[in-house]
């Protein structure tokens, strides 16, 4: 009897930061799908995306956290269980218009999992 073993290599969690007004393309290796672990839209530090913010005439030294559940839901709707997706770091995409003078960014933490990881096998038979 021959036994076959499959080994799937995953890269571990990936991080992506996209400055306001830009788009980001997330992509996993072939036969792997995106699972979004968490996502943040807003500003929670004074050093990320500062050059672009100043160019747009917005401030970068004031924090502006946004609704994290809304952000996670929006990014997951766009990217969950697909091999690649595009997300937009935009107040319009996240339905948020507060902190208008603050330059924000989108931070995403995600994993690439084998396609088979989303297949559910019935128990019992």
110: pLDDT confidence band, cut at 50, 70 and 90?
Answer: very high
Return the higher-pLDDT residue of 39 and 12: 39
Give the pLDDT of residue 38: 94
Checking if the pLDDT of 14 tops 80, the result is yes
CB 124 within 8 A of CB 54: no
9 part of a folded domain = no
27 part of a folded domain = yes
Give the pLDDT of residue 65: 79
Residue 87: CB partners within 8 Å, gap ≥ 6?
18, 23, 24, 26, 75, 78, 79, 93, 106, 108
* pTM of structure: 0.80
118 part of a folded domain = no
pLDDT mean over 41-57: 84
Tell me the CATH number at 53: 2.60.120.740
Helix (H), strand (E) at residue 18: strand 14-19
33: containing domain: 15-112
Percent of the chain scoring above 90 in pLDDT: 55
CB 96 within 8 A of CB 66: yes
């Amino acid at each position: 009897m021959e036994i076959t073993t499959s080994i799937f290599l995953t890269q571990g969690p990936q991080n992506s930061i996209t400055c306001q007004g830009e788009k980001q393309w997330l992509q996993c290796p072939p036969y792997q799908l995106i699972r979004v672990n968490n996502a943040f839209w807003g500003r929670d530090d004074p050093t990320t995306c500062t050059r672009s913010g100043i160019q747009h005439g917005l401030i970068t030294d004031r924090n502006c956290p946004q609704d994290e559940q809304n952000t996670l839901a929006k990014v997951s709707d766009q990217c969950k269980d697909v091999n690649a997706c595009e997300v937009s770091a935009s107040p319009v995409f996240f339905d948020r218009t507060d902190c208008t003078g603050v330059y924000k960014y989108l931070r995403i933490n995600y994993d690439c999992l084998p396609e088979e990881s989303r297949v559910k096998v019935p128990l019992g038979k």
